[in-house]
A and B are shown apart, each in its own frame.
Chain A
């Protein structure tokens, strides 16, 4: 039962964090380069622009779900399993989600990089 809870929570972390990453990335692209905005219009202008973007809040909700799933998973499983397993599979899920929903050019280079990083993170757990 302990393993079932751990892997169910890991699955929820992957789904929620991928959704959150895509929504937050979409929101921040609409806001623009925050460094430049900060320099030209000030910090409050940056905060205002971010808060005025609806996908930012949806992304936050998805990230909150991922965060509590992580706490739940960590209470049942080992850090050395939960973090690398969820992180490595999230890399792969994000590569596909970014291509489909954000229209990023995920060519061979980035797909290979996602697989290398995913494999590397998984090996770090050993």
Chain B
């Protein structure tokens, strides 16, 4: 794993959580969406909070696709959960919010889970038919 690849994984974690938070803020402005007025979901993207959330989720998507090109899905996904830990730490030490004990346990579990995966190879076995095209560059076997 190179520094650039760790940066991509950090992008996956940060953009995902920030995007979700902005979307949630925007959808609360819009109120409950009825099954009879699903079209209002289409117009939800005009809301500035929702639009900002979508921009961050696009950045998440780019980082996510890049990470999936050189690492397993089961390696990349736990990295995105680190965003929850980052948000909780910013809330505690940046905004001095109280974090309940159960949430600290959650932080410990996520960190342990990510640590378990990160200690192993980023890419495992693939079938021959799944290999990249002849002129494509092969990802690292492991790092």
A: residues with CB less than 8 A from B are 2, 5, 21-22, 24-26, 28-37, 40, 49-50, 63, 67-68, 70-72, 74-76, 79, 83-84, 87, 90-91, 94-95, 98-99, 102-106, 109-110, 112-117, 119-124, 126
Return chain B residues, CB-CB under 8 Å to A75: 27, 30-33
Cα distance, A123 to B24, chains bound together (Å): 19
Cα distance, A126 to B105, chains bound together (Å): 11
Per-residue 0/1 for B45-84: is the Cβ within 8 Å of any A Cβ (1 yes, 0 no)? 0000010000001000100111011101111111001001
Q: Is the interface of B mostly helix, strand, loop or mixed?
A: helix
> Between A and B, how many residue pairs show CB distances below 8 Å?
186
B102 near A126: Cβ-Cβ < 8 Å: yes
> B interface, how many residues as a size bin?
35 or more
Cα distance, A36 to B2, chains bound together (Å): 12
B: residues with CB less than 8 A from A are 4-5, 20-21, 23-24, 27-28, 30-33, 35, 38, 41, 44, 50, 57, 61, 64-66, 68-70, 72-78, 81, 84, 88, 100, 102-103, 105-114, 116-117, 119-120, 124-127, 130-133, 136-140
